[in-house]
Chains A and B, each alone.
Chain A
């Protein structure tokens, strides 16, 4: 693929992670040209979308110039050399503030989160921090597909930045549904990996045992490439699992059509007709392409996941955020109540997590994944940020989950399919995502300038 330099501003925003990295490696485009083209895209769309809490244009240009010089000397740092990304304002980036600290004067962080360290080492470029709600203030971020609607939960800025084609991928975080929901609402591919699959070091906590670093991109091959850089043990995070990083190549040519369980007793009766129609259409296409799709029922005890989650999340949130400003999200009234959870209840709720994990694993059995809609409805209008009901259980249990875009509502808002599988099978789940994406097709670009 040769890239015409006169059309960079229209071509670059539509390139994915792998396409940018390949073009840089082949010297068809330089990192500085990529950053300039994306900054132009930000300038054209940010007024409508408002994805960035701190756009670091100067820093991105400086990183890109160094990386461009390295290409000239024949050096490529890694598989993401010259690929820009956005990162939720919950992560530490050296020299930038962390908005989630919710302080009147935000200090510049002295060091990078592990995800940033690994992305920089692979050659990626920090474009800036993406919006998340701070001090219970309504987010300015709007949906790239329709600015009257929300972009999702706390990773809204990350979802909107990718959906609006400002960056090819972004880092989010999910404690309830806040990575997959904005990914879904903004028409993106999203991964909430297995708990501990990506180090949380340098990620400002909501609730330690439920927080997950998440990825938002435009394709599953892109997400696999980024995961291959980010996964792996980390001495700075004792909950990071020891497995080495999965390969970047999803090897779809060697993959058989997946065996999927369509969850019947949990999500369908809570979903709006427009979402059910999109689900049925997708299932039909997947069956035609050879997928084995059978009805699946979650264990009868499954609804207890919400009650156990409330106790664990509230207690952990109230512990970390105990001394913060009273209008901080988690130490407002709802968060403060977590301080009253007795230790016996906290531990019993965590025992319930182990028990429900056993039951769900047994139910999934030999299936490659189970399937629900990602959200019961397309993105609502603010001040709501949408419904995380179908996402919360997998954050609490730590199972990996993805969202695959599956169509647009009559109002032009994206909808998604959520696939879930057993812990540590993130790679196989991304394969399912890529297979499905190929079968049902990708969404076009949103109707922005």
Chain B
């Protein structure tokens, strides 16, 4: 999944569901679906926030 340009929640969620099914199929249980939604929201926020170039991981 690309980091930039910013991703939408729909495309992240679709990608996460596909990856989850590939790893743990054959279906996504409700608990995992909820966790994927939360993760998608976080990924959208991180993707959509430009950071100054001098910033390194901490």
Chain A residues packing against B (C-beta within 8 Å): 301, 304, 306-308, 310-311, 314, 332-334, 336-342, 344-345, 347-355, 357-358
A337 touches B20 (CB 8 A): yes
Given contacts A311-B43, A314-B39, A336-B32, contact A351 B58 (CB under 8 A): yes
Q: Name the residue of chain B whose CB is nearest to the CB of A310.
A: B42
State A355–B49 Cα separation when bound (angstroms): 11
Given contacts A337-B16, A355-B52, contact A348 B24 (CB under 8 A): no
State A308–B56 Cα separation when bound (angstroms): 14
Q: Which of A348, A353, A358 has the most CB of B within 10 A?
A: A348
Which one of B32, B45, B51 contacts A307 once the chains associate, using CB atoms below 8 Å? B45
Which one of B3, B35, B58 contacts A337 once the chains associate, using CB atoms below 8 Å? B35
Q: Name the residue of chain B whose CB is nearest to the CB of A338.
A: B39
Interface pairs A-B: 7 shortest CB-CB? A350-B57, A333-B31, A354-B58, A307-B45, A333-B32, A337-B35, A310-B42
B residues 22-50 with Cβ under 8 Å of A? Answer: 23-24, 29, 31-32, 34-36, 38-39, 41-43, 45-47, 49
| Nearest Cβ on chain A to B40's Cβ, whole angstroms | 9
A340 touches B16 (CB 8 A): yes
Q: List 27 A-B contacts (CB under 8 A).
A: A301-B49, A304-B46, A306-B42, A307-B41, A307-B46, A310-B42, A311-B39, A311-B43, A314-B39, A332-B31, A333-B29, A333-B34, A334-B34, A337-B32, A340-B19, A340-B20, A341-B39, A342-B3, A345-B43, A345-B47, A347-B57, A349-B42, A349-B46, A351-B58, A352-B49, A353-B58, A355-B52
Which one of A314, A339, A352 contacts B51 once the chains associate, using CB atoms below 8 Å? A352
B24 touches A336 (CB 8 A): yes
| Nearest Cβ on chain A to B51's Cβ, whole angstroms | 5
A351 touches B1 (CB 8 A): no
B42 touches A354 (CB 8 A): no
In the assembled complex, which residues on chain B have CB atoms less than 8 Å from the CB atom of A314? 39
State A344–B57 Cα separation when bound (angstroms): 11
A352 touches B31 (CB 8 A): no
B55 touches A307 (CB 8 A): no
Q: Name the residue of chain A whose CB is nearest to the CB of B19.
A: A340
State A343–B20 Cα separation when bound (angstroms): 16
Given contacts A333-B32, A336-B35, A351-B56, contact A308 B16 (CB under 8 A): no
A345 touches B35 (CB 8 A): no
Chain B residues packing against A (C-beta within 8 Å): 1, 3, 16, 19-20, 23-24, 29, 31-32, 34-36, 38-39, 41-43, 45-47, 49, 51-52, 55-58
The secondary structure that dominates the A interface is helix
Q: Which of B31, B41, B57 has the most CB of A within 10 A?
A: B57
B46 touches A348 (CB 8 A): yes
Given contacts A337-B20, A340-B20, contact A351 B55 (CB under 8 A): yes
B31 touches A334 (CB 8 A): yes
Which one of A337, A345, A357, A358 contacts B36 once the chains associate, using CB atoms below 8 Å? A337
Q: Name the residue of chain B whose CB is nearest to the CB of A315.
A: B39
In the assembled complex, which residues on chain A have CB atoms less than 8 Å from the CB atom of B31? 332-334
B49 touches A304 (CB 8 A): yes
State A347–B45 Cα separation when bound (angstroms): 14
Extra inter-chain contacts (19) besides given A347-B57, A355-B52, CB under 8 Å: A304-B49, A306-B42, A307-B41, A310-B41, A311-B46, A333-B31, A333-B32, A333-B35, A336-B35, A337-B38, A338-B39, A342-B1, A344-B3, A345-B3, A345-B46, A345-B47, A348-B3, A351-B55, A355-B55
Q: Name the residue of chain A whose CB is nearest to the CB of B41.
A: A307
Given contacts A332-B31, A342-B1, contact A351 B43 (CB under 8 A): no
Which one of B1, B24, B29, B38 contacts A310 once the chains associate, using CB atoms below 8 Å? B38
In the assembled complex, which residues on chain A have CB atoms less than 8 Å from the CB atom of B58? 350-351, 353-354, 357
